[in-house]
Amino acid sequence: MLKKRVEKALEKAGRKGEEVKIVAVSKTFPPESVRALYSLGHKDFGENYVQEARKKVKELSLENAEWHMVGKLQKNKVKYIPETFQWFHALDSVELAELLEKKLREKSKTLKVLIQVKYEEGEHRVGVEESDIKALIEKCLSCEHIKLRGLMVLPPIPEHPEDSRPYFQRLRRLRDSLLDAGFPEDSLKELSMGMSDDFEVAIEEGATIIRVGRIIFGERRYE
Ligand SMILES: *Cc1c(COP(=O)(O)O)cnc(C)c1O
């Protein structure tokens, strides 16, 4: 059903035949739920909390799966990233990029990275300001183990899916302006935007990766 809706949204956007990567965000859900989806052929899983992810990744040990860290990364958790994740969606500072590069180098690993852009004020909002993004891209491009792939945005929780559209549009325009400025296309190919409530709007606005949890696994129960 999710795949059908993704296809429909692509069609509506005139993007028929294009692919959207569906990251199944499994935070708070048990390893068995991940394994069940994996056994159906799904390969991309997302987590927000490094400790929870480490346990799941180790326990499940799924061949060829790609694990995506989609949440804010604390500096003291950087050391666990290389052996746990293949993707990181929330890079937001030069300092964090340097710490990541150092750990990746030590473990001879690479990491596909998206820069999270901040469009909202408030301390719980993470992301880099638009005005600082060029410096952060330059930093990533100078790193051997960080493979920059694109941008990510996390709008405020929408009341209506349309509430998110301006954020998605803004991210796409930012990406286009960075391409115009001459940054390499490979490093800006992906737009990670859209969650269970607004992924169709995100696809209409050019999302290449959606991060969805509840629509796949059901409502989350926090203890
Ligand atoms: C939890 C989370 C998601 C998935 O949210 P759903 O509402 O379950 O689809 C996506 N991205 C981030 C950054 C998240 O924290």
- pLDDT on residue 75: 96
pTM of the model: 0.96
Answer whether 90 contacts ligand 1 (Cβ < 6 A).
Answer: no
Using one digit for the tens of pLDDT, what is the confidence trace for 34-79?
A: 999 999 999 999 999 999 999 999 999 999 999 999 999 999 999 9
Q: In the prediction, which pLDDT does 221 show?
A: 77
Query: Is the alpha carbon torsion for 181, 154, 92, 217 positive or negative?
Result: negative
Q: What percent of the chain has pLDDT over 70?
A: 97
Give the burial class of 138: count Cβ atoms within 10 A of its Cβ; 0-12 exposed, 13-18 middle, 19 or more buried.
exposed
What is the reported pLDDT for 121? Answer: 66
What pLDDT, on a 0 to 100 scale, did the predictor assign at position 126?
83
Residue with tokens 């746990």: 84
Q: Is the CB of 195 under 6 A from ligand 1?
A: yes
For ligand 1, the distance from its centroid to the CA atom of residue 157, given in whole angstroms, is 10
Q: Is 152 in the pocket of ligand 1 (CB under 6 A)?
A: no
pLDDT-derived band at 119 (thresholds 50, 70, 90) equals confident
Ligand 1 geometric centre to CA of 180 (Å): 31
211 vs 150: CA distance, rounded Å = 14
Q: Tell me, in angstroms, the distance from the centre of ligand 1 to residue 134's CA.
A: 26
Is the CB–ligand 1 distance for residue 196 below 6 Å?
yes
111 phi, psi to nearest 5 deg: -145, 130
Task: Tell me the CA–centroid distance for residue 81 and ligand 1, in Å.
Answer: 19
Average pLDDT, the chain: 96
> Where residue 122 falls among pLDDT bands split at 50, 70, 90?
low
- Pocket of ligand 1 contains residue 212 by CB under 6 Å: yes
Asked whether the beta carbons of 18 and 197 are under 8 A apart, the reply is: no
Exposed/middle/buried for residue 1 (C-beta within 10 Å: 0-12, 13-18, 19+): exposed
